């Protein structure tokens, strides 16, 4: 089963990452000034993850596929890693869909 980890980055902002059951990072958040914003972001991921239309499939300047997950208002709530292929990216999206809803939350702060 997947889990969300809440942590503080080098600039003292709160962030979360969603990890698959195998421990691989599958989605990372933007920085939040407060922990409540971060926990709200996790709830937004859980709410929006099942909806395929919330995923924006993108390509980096280097040609690597990746995706973002957006809230209903269009705001990005999570970004994936760079993938080696479109198939690998689609597997990443499927992993977010499968792991987010029932993922536990671990506070590392």
> H or E element: which one contains 43?
helix 35-48
Residue ranges covered by each domain of the chain: 3-107
Q: What is the pLDDT of residue 99?
A: 95
Positions in the chain short of pLDDT 50: none
Pick the CATH number of 3-107 from 2.30.29.80, 3.40.1010.10, 2.60.120.1440, 3.40.50.2300: 2.30.29.80
Q: What is the pLDDT of residue 71?
A: 95
Beta strands, E only, 37-102: 55-59, 65-70, 76-79
Q: What is the pLDDT of residue 103?
A: 96
Q: What is the pLDDT of residue 41?
A: 96
Torsion of CA 33, 38, 40, 42, to 10 degrees: 160
Q: What is the pLDDT of residue 44?
A: 97
């Amino acid at each position: 089963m997947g889990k969300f980890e809440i942590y503080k980055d080098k600039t003292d902002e709160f962030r979360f990452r969603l990890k698959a059951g195998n421990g691989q990072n599958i989605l990372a958040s933007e920085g939040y000034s407060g922990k409540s914003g971060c926990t709200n972001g996790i709830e937004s991921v859980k709410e929006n993850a099942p909806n395929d239309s919330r995923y924006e499939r993108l390509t980096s300047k280097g040609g690597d596929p990746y995706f973002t997950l957006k809230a209903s208002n269009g705001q990005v709530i999570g970004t994936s890693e760079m993938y080696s292929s479109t198939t690998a990216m689609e597997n990443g999206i499927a992993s977010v869909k499968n792991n987010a809803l029932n993922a536990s939350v671990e506070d590392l702060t």
